[in-house]
């Protein structure tokens, strides 16, 4: 079935460092792909999305490109801030029950 | 525009009891989904309702049930609580009428602790 695998955390970076969180997927067809972010004590919120191959989603300095040849959707940011500390979830639309399938989440901590 | 509202935010129950959680979606959203979030299993899909009908269901036992009202508000119920039901229960609404939904808008969740 469809699935999402993302890198285990936690990831600890210094402010202004470069961020990459890896996400790969297994799916039939070409489902839409998403990155969601969960700040402490809050629910998830959409960070960015891509609906077809080669699409690049971007928001708040974060970017991810839908790569069908490598079945990947890696999240990147050139310069992280302390306020980016959160848990990041990769997801695809295409669960067998008509749901979004989420990765396990990657906790990011950014130190000043 | 008000976001997704979940009540209660925190609750403590004992094994064998039942619990009802409530979710008010964003105005105009007709799809409501429920997810269980635990440290070990991550986010697992419970069910989705659209126009008062359960449209999709995850792989949870029958103790987990839900419903949706005509105003799109939704409730989920867990009967005969077990220790393993301790989790953050997240509700999400979507403006999309198609399944699977595109962007989901999440509430802050209801944190259930079962003692």
A74 in Cβ contact with A22 (< 8 Å): yes
Number of residues that make up chain A: 112
A88 in Cβ contact with A21 (< 8 Å): yes
pLDDT surpassing 70 at residue B33: yes
Q: Where residue A8 falls among pLDDT bands split at 50, 70, 90?
A: confident
Q: For residue A93, what pLDDT is reported? A: 87
Residues A54-82 have a mean pLDDT of: 96
3-state secondary structure A24-69: EEECCCCCCEEEEEECCCCCEEEEEEECCCCCEEEECCEEEECECC
Q: For residue B100, what pLDDT is reported? A: 54
B90 — contact with chain A (CB < 8 Å)?
yes
Q: Where residue B97 falls among pLDDT bands split at 50, 70, 90?
A: low
Tokens of residue A85, six digits: 């500390």
Measuring CA to CA, how many Å separate A108 from each of A11, A28, B40, B50? 5, 30, 18, 34
CA A73 to chain centre: 7
Q: For residue B56, what pLDDT is reported? A: 87
Q: For residue B1, what pLDDT is reported? A: 64
- Residues of A within 8 A of B38 (CB-CB) are none
When the pLDDT of each residue in chain B is averaged and rounded to a whole number, the result is: 92
Residues B41-55 have a mean pLDDT of: 92
The dihedrals phi and psi of A82, each to the nearest 5 degrees, come to: -55, -35
Give which of B45, B53, B99, B110 to mutate to test A binding, by max A Cβ within 10 Å.
Answer: B45
Of A28, A8, A15, give the one whose Cα is nearest residue A88. A8
Calculated CA dihedral for residues B42, B46, B48, B49, nearest 10 degrees:
-140
B106 — contact with chain A (CB < 8 Å)?
yes
Which residues of A, range 14-73, sit inside 8 Å of B by Cβ?
A: 31-32, 34, 36, 41-46, 49
pLDDT in tens, A11-61: 999 999 999 999 999 988 888 999 999 998 888 999 999 988 999 999 999
CA distance B17 to B15: 6
When the pLDDT of each residue in chain A is averaged and rounded to a whole number, the result is: 92
Closest Cβ–Cβ partner in B42, B100, B106 for A99: B100
| Partner-chain contact A43 B108, CB within 8 Å | yes
Of A59, A53, A43, give the one whose Cα is nearest residue A102. A43
Residues A81-97 have a mean pLDDT of: 88
Measuring CA to CA, how many Å separate A56 from each of A31, A38, A48, B31, B115? 14, 21, 9, 27, 46
What percentage of chain B exceeds 70 in pLDDT? Answer: 94
């Amino acid at each position: 079935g469809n699935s999402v695998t993302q890198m285990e955390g936690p990831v600890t970076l210094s402010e202004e460092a470069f961020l990459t969180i890896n996400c790969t997927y297994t799916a039939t067809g070409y489902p839409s792909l998403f990155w969601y972010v969960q700040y402490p004590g809050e629910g998830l919120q959409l960070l960015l999305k891509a609906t077809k191959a080669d699409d690049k989603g971007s928001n708040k300095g974060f970017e991810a490109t839908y790569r069908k040849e490598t079945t990947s959707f890696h999240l990147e940011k050139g310069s992280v801030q302390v306020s980016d500390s959160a848990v990041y979830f990769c997801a695809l639309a295409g669960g067998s029950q008509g749901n979004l399938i989420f990765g396990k989440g990657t906790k990011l901590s950014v130190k000043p | 525009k008000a976001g997704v509202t979940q009540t209660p935010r925190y609750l403590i129950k004992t094994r064998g009891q039942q619990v009802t959680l409530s979710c008010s979606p964003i105005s105009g959203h007709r799809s409501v989904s429920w997810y269980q979030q635990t440290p070990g299993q991550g986010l697992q899909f419970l069910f989705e309702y659209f126009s008062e009908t359960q449209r999709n269901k995850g792989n949870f036992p029958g103790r987990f049930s839900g419903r949706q009202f005509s105003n799109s508000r939704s409730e989920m119920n867990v009967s005969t609580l077990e220790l393993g039901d301790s989790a953050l229960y997240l509700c999400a609404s979507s403006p999309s009428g198609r399944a699977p939904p595109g962007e989901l808008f999440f509430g802050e969740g209801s944190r259930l602790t079962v003692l």
